[in-house]
Every structure is written in C-alpha cells, then in structure tokens.
Amino acid sequence: SYELTQSLSVSVALGQTARITCVGNNIGTRNVHWYQQKSGQAPVLVIYKDKNRPPGIPERLSGSNSGNTATLIITRAQDGDEGDYYCQVWDGGSEMVFGGGTKLTVL
Amino acid sequence: QVHLVQSGAEVKKSGASVKVSCKASGYTFSGYAVHWVRQAPGQGLEWMGWINPGTGNTKYSRKFQARVTITRDTFASTVYMELSSLRFEDTAVYYCARDAGLNWGSFHFWGQGTLVAVSS
C-alpha cells in the first residue's frame, strides 16, 4: 500500500517561513492535497492539486510537488497558522491515503 | 453555501453497530462524492470510503471493507455511514467530507464530526 511520511513537528519563528514536507514514492506524479486542523476542529483544505488555494486561503500558503517530496510552504508565519497539517493523495487505485500529520508550532 | 451537518455523538457497546448521518445542503447533492474519514483520539486522519450520491456506487478502504457500509437518501440529501462489529479501537471522531467533484479525491468541505465512543 502507498505510504506518505511527514515529520512529526515543525517549529517556525513568528514572521518567518515554514516548510512542511510529505514524502512518498514518486509523489510528484500524483495530486497532493493539504489540510490544516486546529485543536478540536474539523480539518480545512488549504491546498489542492499540489499548489491551488481554495477561496479564503491566504496567498502566504503555497505548495509544490516534485520527485518524492511534496512541500507546503507558509510564509510570514502567524499564530493562527499553528495546528496539525496533513498531506493526502489518491493512491491511483481505490484508496485515499493521508500522511501521519505534522504539528506546526509558531514561536 | 455548502453545509454538511452530522448526527450527534453515540455511545455503543463492543460488538454493536453505529450509523452516522451527514445531511448536505447548498449544492447539487448528486454532483459530488462524499467521503468518510475518522480520527481516533490523539491520532491522524484515516479514510474509510466514499459514495457517488447520484449512482449509489461505493468504494471502501481495504481496512474497513468488511465492516463499513455507506449509503445515501437522495430525497433527504443525506449520506449514511454504518460501521458494524464495533470494538474499543473504533472510538473516534467520524467526519463526512465532500469532494470537489465525483472523482477528484480531495475533501473540500467537512462536516463538524461525530464522536463515537465504544465501551466494552
């Protein structure tokens, strides 16, 4: 089965840039979606199809995907960006797969 | 605007079944797939399966294939997820989520979640 690997945690200073990675075999050939989940809330889609932002998601959030790594980039990090971030792909068969999640802390 | 409203929390005994509903509004019900995703306490997200509300066709995760059934009521614009043979490890928040289309495989709108607690 297809697996996605994320770092358990990432820390970023207020106003700086955070990079959250998602590693999978030839992930660059798949569409990657990213979700933010704040404590006690439902997840929210923040990036779909590698680099597209849904309405209401700030331009500070962007995505890239190539080779074996997809990356969610958060520039000018704010306190409100704290939470858990999950990457997700369709494995090409019939399964949707999530990464294990990365906890983002803004210092 | 799109809304997905789920049924309330459930407490079940081990071995029982649970059925969670997800009422959709604000869009054409048959035009978008609906998925179910669960999250155990302190754990990550886990995809369970999806349904095409227009046709009723379903796909299930291999992990849940034998125990999960997703159905829909088109007149009520509601999708249901039933999980049988519950065990303690099924204690989780269960979410429904709407796709961007019928087979995009991305979850653009989410319900508020339904806590299912399983006791022995």
Residue with tokens 């990213």: A34
Report the C-alpha gap between B54 and B79 in whole angstroms: 11
Region A14-21: mean pLDDT is: 97
What DSSP letter does each residue of chain B carry, written as one string? --EEEEPPPEEEETT--EEEEEEEESS-GGGS-EEEEEE-TT--EEEEEEE-TTT--EEE-TTTTTTEEEEEETTTTEEEEEE-S--GGG-EEEEEEEESSSS---EEEE---EEEEEE-
Compare B2 and A91 and report the one with higher pLDDT.
B2
* Range A72-90 burial, b when 16+ CB lie within 10 A, else e: bbbbebeeebebbbbbbbb
- Split at pLDDT 50, 70, 90, the class of B120 is confident
Q: How many CB pairs under 8 A join A and B?
A: 57
- Split at pLDDT 50, 70, 90, the class of A22 is very high
Query: What is residue A6's predicted lDDT score, i.e. its pLDDT?
Result: 98
Instruction: Among A42, A88, A89, select the one facing B113 at the smallest CB separation.
Output: A42
Residue pLDDT, tens place only, A52-94: 999 999 999 999 999 999 999 999 999 999 999 999 999 877 8
Q: Which residues pair with A74 in a beta bridge?
A: A18, A61
Four-point Cα dihedral B91, B22, B111, B115, nearest 10: -20
Region A36-53: mean pLDDT is: 97
Residue pLDDT, tens place only, B37-70: 999 999 999 999 999 999 999 999 999 999 999 9
Query: What is residue A79's predicted lDDT score, i.e. its pLDDT?
Result: 95
Instruction: Among A37, A44, A45, select the one facing B106 at the smallest CB separation.
Output: A45
Q: How many CB atoms lie within 10 A of CB A10?
A: 19
Query: What is residue A91's predicted lDDT score, i.e. its pLDDT?
Result: 84
Query: What is residue B118's predicted lDDT score, i.e. its pLDDT?
Result: 98
Residue pLDDT, tens place only, B58-107: 999 999 999 999 999 999 999 999 999 999 999 999 999 999 988 889 99
* Range B29-44 burial, b when 16+ CB lie within 10 A, else e: beebbbbbbbbeeeee
Average pLDDT, whole number, for chain B? Answer: 96
What's the token pair of residue B88?
């303690």
Query: A2 near A24, Cβ under 8 Å?
Result: yes
Query: Residue B5's closest CA among B32, B27, B30, B23?
Result: B23
Overall size of chain A counted in residues? 107
Query: What is residue A92's predicted lDDT score, i.e. its pLDDT?
Result: 74
A2–B contact, CB cutoff 8 A:
no
Query: Residue A37's closest CA among A5, A85, A78?
Result: A85
Query: What is residue B22's predicted lDDT score, i.e. its pLDDT?
Result: 98
Sort out which chain B residues have CB atoms less than 8 A from A96's CB and list them. Answer: 35, 47, 50, 61, 105
The Cα angle at residue B100 between residues B99 and B102, in degrees rounded to 5: 70
Query: What is residue A93's predicted lDDT score, i.e. its pLDDT?
Result: 79
